[in-house]
Amino acid sequence: MGSRSIRHLITLRDLADTDIRDIVDRGVALAQTPSGDRLRDTLADAVVGVYFTKTSTRTRTAFSSGALRLGAGLITYGARDLQTNTGESSEDTGRVLSRMLTALVARTAGDPAEMRAWAHQKRMAVVNAMSADEHPTQALADLTTLSQHFGDVDGLRILYVGEGNNTASALALALSRFRDVRLELRTPPGYGLSAELMDSVATRGRANGTLIQQRHDLKDLVSDIQAVYTTRWQTTGTTKADPNWRAVFAPFQVDEALVDELPGSIFMHDLPAHRGEEVTAGVLDGPASIAFTQAENKMFSAMAVLEWCHGVG
C-alpha cells in the first residue's frame, strides 16, 4: 500500500460531495462485478480492526467479509476487550492501535467523541459503523442500492416512514448532496429528526435543487414516490421513555395499503425487521421489496468505504 494517506469516515458531514458519489459509484461497480472477480488485493498490506460494543449482523459481517475479500488481515474486538475498560484514555488507545492497524471500524451506538479521539493520528483510518446520532455506512449502502436499482440517485423521490433515528439522519445527510432529490420524512410526533439537522440538510439540499422535509403524519403523499423506506421501531442501543410509544408509532406502519397508494415504488429496510410492527410481512417479503439486496450491498459498500479510507481508487 506504500505511503498512501488515510481518511476517516466518522460523519457524512465531513465528506465532500465527490467523496460520497465516489464511494457510491464504487459500491455499485463492486456489486455488478461477477462473483468470481470480486476478490481483489487492493488492501493486501492492510490490517483492519473491527470493534463493536453493540450487536450487529449486517454491518459487522459486511466490513469483515469486505476486508478479507480485498486482501486485508482482520482483528476483531469485543465490547470488553480494549483497555479503555480499565482506564486507558481513548486518545492513547487510538495512538497505540494506529501503530498496528491501518483501519478501525467501530460501533459504539454512543457519542462519536470517542471515535474523534481515536482519529487524532495520521496512520489509521477510523470508520463509524454506527453511533447514536448517525449511521453513515448504512446511508452509503442505501445509496449504492438506489443507484444500482434506478441507475442514478439524482432525481429520485423517496419516502421515509418511522423514527427519526441515526439511519434516517444519515439518509438525509447523504441525499442532500445529490441533485433534484425529494426526500419526504414522515416521523411519529416527538420522534423526528432534530430541527438543527433538518435545517442543515434542507440548506445543503437547496443548493442542489433537492427538497428534504419532515411531517408527523402520512397525509398528502406525493404520487411519484419511487422508494419507501422504513426501519425497526427500536433502534439498536436505545430505549423509549414513554411506555405508550407503540400507540404513537402504530399509524406509521408500512403496510399493503400504503404501498398500494404508491404504485411502482420499491420497498427498503435496513434490517433487522420486526414483521407486524414497522412493516407487514406482505410488504417485506413481497415483490416490491429489495431489502435483502440492500443488505447484501452493505458488503460492497463496505469494500468501497475501506478502499476510500486507504486512498485506493
Percentage of the chain exceeding pLDDT 70? 96
**Looking at the structure, do residues 92 and 148 belong to the same domain, yes or no?**
no
Question: Based on the domain organization, do 225 and 144 belong to the same domain?
Answer: yes
Query: Is omega for the bond preceding 112 within 30 degrees of 0, making it cis?
Result: no
Residues 129 and 192 reside in one and the same domain? no
Same domain, 122 and 29: yes
Question: Are residues 168 and 156 both part of a single domain?
Answer: yes
CATH code of the domain containing 226:
3.40.50.1370
Higher-confidence residue: 240 or 143? 143
If asked whether residues 178 and 29 sit together in one domain, one would say no
> How many helices (H) and strands (E) would you count in the chain?
11, 9
Domain annotation covers residue 1:
no
Question: Same structural domain for residues 143 and 26?
Answer: no
Domain range for 153: 138-295
Instruction: pLDDT band for 247, please (50, 70, 90 cuts).
Output: very high
Question: What's the pTM value of the predicted model, to 2 decimals?
Answer: 0.95
For residue 109, being part of any structural domain is answered with yes
DSSP label at 252? G
Reported as a pLDDT band with limits 50, 70 and 90, residue 260 is very high
Rounded to whole angstroms, how far apart are CA atoms 121 and 136?
21
Q: How confident is the model at residue 2 (pLDDT cuts 50, 70, 90)?
A: very low
Is pLDDT at 227 greater than 90 in this prediction?
yes
Tell me the pLDDT tens digit for each residue of 81-113. 888 888 899 899 999 999 999 999 999 867 889
Pairing of strands 211-215, 125-128: unpaired
Model confidence at 37: pLDDT above 90: no
Q: DSSP code of 289?
A: B
Question: Residue 116: CB partners within 8 Å, gap ≥ 6?
Answer: 10
CA separation for the pair 199, 213 (Å, rounded): 10
- Read off φ and ψ for residue 85, nearest 5 degrees: -70, -15
Cell numbers linked to 191: 420522534
User: How many structural domains is the chain composed of?
Assistant: 2
194 shares a domain with 153: yes
pLDDT band at 53 (very low <50, low <70, confident <90, very high): very high
- Check whether 36 has a pLDDT greater than 70: no
pLDDT of residue 108: 85
Q: Are residues 126 and 145 in the same domain?
A: no
**C-alpha span between 221 and 198 (Å, rounded):** 19
3-class SS of residue 105: strand
Instruction: List Cβ neighbours of 242 (8 Å cut-off, separation of 6 or more).
Output: 190, 248
Please tell me whether residues 180 and 261 are part of one structural domain.
Answer: yes
